[in-house]
């Protein structure tokens, strides 16, 4: 197939291009600058410069490329400062998920594109009631916390618009596997604490596994929604110390809810205490997806081994010596 990949130069896009090519697809990959276009070309795709928020340019690029499939992986999360207000941090990404999706879908219709796969997200979206792990059929949170209402609405918009057009929305877990992953700096600086009992559940997915599921989704008839997450949804109190250790950082702090509310806002408290995880059973069953990193336990260690080694080099003693909790592991 000829695959038009919006966001080919991004964290997931750069993992996806080689996997698509390995599968025998031709890739037309978008980015926004000559430098990122060169990265896309080096990966083996045909680069196209494109602002997804420019409908005329999108229409022209899609019609000229004559793709069989479109994959929407454009977000605007690089260099974002995550504030207490998630909607502020995600404002541009939310536009890419609403207007960007509409524009791509309109171009897809006009160009007779048969397949459409869009990037959605599983974390912090399912209703904060009942069991800890949710399937695609479980209800979404009807009352998202105030500072992430627009962000939740944008993801729901994408899910609905893509599936209404017969496409597939992939609700990925929290991505990891790159040296600049957003979580790393706060965890290293002990700015990401365990809130109260740390009961909030997270689902993760390694970029390589996220990409392999996306390749498989292109062979699947829509409409459909899939959770693309690993096998082990886990409470923050479980995964956060493991991540800190994998980075050679000190163990996370513990803070009560009122302190977390002051520093991380309501969304941070929700993530730490109430968020639900997601099940990948449907993706495994229907896409035939198998994971190279079935759990973040193995994935964090492998992904960040080099970073941990350089942390140890900077420190005269092994990075976890002197921390009582790491001694028991
Ligand atoms: N669901 C999530 O929570 C999620 C999703 C994605 C990424 N992330 C995290 O965010 C961090 C940064 O991600 P990233 O490196 O992928 O960068 P990013 O800034 O999110 O960019 C992703 C892709 O979208 C493209 N893009 C951005 N704005 C665009 C626009 N207006 N029109 C068309 N394309 C546009 C980028 O092009 P250029 O490269 O040319 O700017 C790039 O190809 C990573 O740590 C990653 O783990 C999280």
Q: Which among 247, 235, 242, 239 is positioned nearest to 271, based on CA atoms?
A: 235
52-66 in b/e form (b: 16+ CB < 10 A) is beebebbbebbeebe
> 6 alpha carbon to ligand 1 midpoint, in Å?
10
Over 60: is that where the pLDDT of 325 sits? no
Q: How far apart are CA 34 and CA 49, in angstroms?
A: 8
Whether the bond into 223 is cis, omega within 30 of 0: yes
DSSP string, 112-153: T--EEEEEEE-TTTB-SSS-SEE-TTSPBPSS--GGGHHHHH
> 197 alpha carbon to ligand 1 midpoint, in Å?
32
The answer to whether the CB of 6 falls within 8 A of the CB of 72 is yes
| pLDDT per position as a tens digit, 203-238 | 999 999 999 999 999 999 999 999 999 999 999 999
> 5 alpha carbon to ligand 1 midpoint, in Å?
12
The answer to whether the CB of 165 falls within 8 A of the CB of 116 is yes
CA 143 from centroid of its chain's CA atoms: 22
pLDDT band at 321 (very low <50, low <70, confident <90, very high): very low
Q: Report the SS3 class of residue 36.
A: helix
Tell the residue nearest (CA) to atom 10 of ligand 1: 77
| pLDDT per position as a tens digit, 166-184 | 999 999 999 999 988 989 9
118 lines ligand 1 (CB under 6 A): no
32 lines ligand 1 (CB under 6 A): yes
> 326 alpha carbon to ligand 1 midpoint, in Å?
34
Tell the residue nearest (CA) to atom 26 of ligand 1: 74
């Amino acid at each position: 197939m000829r695959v038009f990949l919006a966001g080919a130069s991004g964290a997931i896009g750069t993992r996806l291009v080689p996997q698509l090519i390995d599968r025998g697809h031709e890739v037309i990959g978008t980015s926004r600058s000559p430098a990122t276009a060169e990265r896309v070309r080096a990966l083996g795709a045909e680069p196209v410069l494109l602002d997804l928020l420019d409908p005329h340019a999108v229409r022209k690029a899609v019609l000229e490329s004559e793709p069989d499939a479109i994959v929407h992986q454009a977000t605007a999360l690089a260099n974002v400062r995550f504030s207490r207000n998630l909607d502020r941090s995600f404002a541009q990404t939310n536009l890419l998920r609403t207007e960007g999706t509409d524009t791509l879908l309109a171009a897809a219709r006009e160009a007779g594109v048969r397949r459409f796969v869009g990037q959605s997200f599983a974390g912090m979206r399912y209703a904060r009631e009942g069991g800890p792990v949710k399937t695609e059929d479980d209800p979404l949170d009807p009352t998202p916390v105030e500072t992430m209402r627009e962000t939740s609405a944008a993801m729901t918009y994408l899910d609905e618009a893509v599936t209404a057009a017969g496409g597939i929305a992939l609700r990925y877990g929290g991505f990891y596997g790159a040296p600049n992953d957003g979580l790393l700096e706060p965890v290293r600086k002990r700015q990401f604490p365990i809130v109260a009992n740390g009961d909030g559940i997270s689902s993760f997915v390694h970029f390589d596994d996220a990409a392999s599921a996306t390749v498989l989704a292109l062979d699947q008839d829509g409409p459909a929604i899939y959770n693309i997450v690993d096998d082990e949804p886990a409470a923050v109190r479980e995964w956060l110390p493991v991540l800190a250790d994998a980075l050679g950082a000190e163990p996370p702090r513990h803070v009560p809810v009122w302190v977390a509310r002051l520093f991380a806002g309501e969304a941070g408290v929700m993530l730490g205490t109430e968020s639900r995880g997601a099940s990948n059973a449907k993706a495994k069953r229907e896409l035939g997806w198998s994971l190279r990193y079935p759990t973040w336990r193995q994935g964090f260690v492998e992904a960040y081994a080099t970073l941990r080694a350089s942390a140890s080099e900077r420190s005269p003693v092994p990075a976890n010596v002197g921390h009582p909790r790491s001694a028991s592991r």
